[in-house]
Amino acid sequence: MDSWNDGPTRTAIVDFVERVSTPGGPDFVEAAKRVAVFDNDGTLWCEKPMPVQLDFTVRRLGELAAQRPELREQQPYKASYENDLHWLGAAMVKHYHGDDADLRLLMAAVTAAFESVAVEQYDQSVREFFASAQHPTLHRSYLSCAYQPMTELLAFLEQNGFTCYIASGGDRDFMRPVAEELYGISPERVIGSALGLSYQSDSGTSSLLYKAAMDFFDDGPEKPVRIWSRIGRRPILSVGNSNGDLPMLAFSESPGTPALRLLVHHDDAEREFADDGGAEDALAESALKNWTVVSMKNDWNTVFSEGV
Helix/strand/coil for 232: coil
- Cβ–Cβ < 8 Å for 214, 16: no
In this prediction, residue 307 carries a pLDDT of 47
Helix axes 148-159, 8-21, angle to 10 degrees: 20
Residue 207 CA, chain-centre distance (Å), reads: 27
Number of helices (H), then strands (E), belonging to the chain: the values are 12, 7
Q: Can you give the pLDDT of all 308 residues of the chain as single tens digits? A: 999 999 999 999 999 999 999 999 999 999 999 999 999 999 999 999 888 998 898 888 898 899 999 999 999 999 888 888 788 778 878 887 888 888 888 888 888 889 999 999 999 999 999 999 999 889 999 999 999 999 999 999 999 999 999 999 999 999 999 999 999 999 999 999 999 999 999 888 999 999 999 999 999 999 999 999 999 999 999 999 999 999 999 999 888 899 999 999 999 999 999 999 899 999 999 999 999 999 999 999 999 977 44
DSSP state at residue 300: B
Half-sphere exposure of 281 (CA within 13 A, CB side): 15
> What CATH number should be reported for the domain whose range is 8-48+140-194+213-299?
3.40.50.1000
Beta carbons within 8 Å of 155's beta carbon, 6+ residues apart: 184
Question: Where do you find CATH 3.40.50.1000 in the chain?
Answer: 8-48+140-194+213-299
The residue length of the chain stands at: 308
Q: What is the pTM of this model?
A: 0.91
